[in-house]
Amino acid sequence: GYCNTARDTWSLFKRVGVEALVNDGLVSLVILLAALAVGLVCAFFGFVTVRNSATLPQNAGMYAAVCIGFALVGFMLSSTLFEVVNSGVST
């Protein structure tokens, strides 16, 4: 029940340390923010691509579709690559 879970959690804190648990949380947050930043940079490149293209129509729908697509691809690829880092620093 609740008491057994609390006892297991306290023994985990004693064994691993609070610093390691906080470290894992911070590393995961930084990796998420880095993946979001890469997605935003890719969205900017999508915007520039549409802006400088002679064949794509210059309307809001095209800008939105290309920017969202670039952002999603950039976010997914970078988060996949950053998971290697996350697995290396996790305890």
- pTM of the predicted model, to two decimals? 0.75
Long-range contacts of 16-20 (CB under 8 A, 24+ apart): 16/91, 20/91
Q: Say what the pLDDT of residue 90 is.
A: 66
Tens digit of pLDDT for each residue in 65-85?
A: 999 999 999 999 999 999 998
Q: Say what the pLDDT of residue 91 is.
A: 56
With contact defined as beta carbons under 8 Å apart, do 40 and 71 qualify?
yes
Check residues 49 and 13 and name the one with the higher pLDDT: 49
**DSSP assignment of 9-61, as one string?**
HHHHHHHH-HHHHHHHHHHHHHHHHHHHHHHHHHHHHHHHHHHH-SSS--SHH
> Which residue in the block uniquely carries the two structure tokens 């939105």?
64
Average pLDDT, the chain: 89
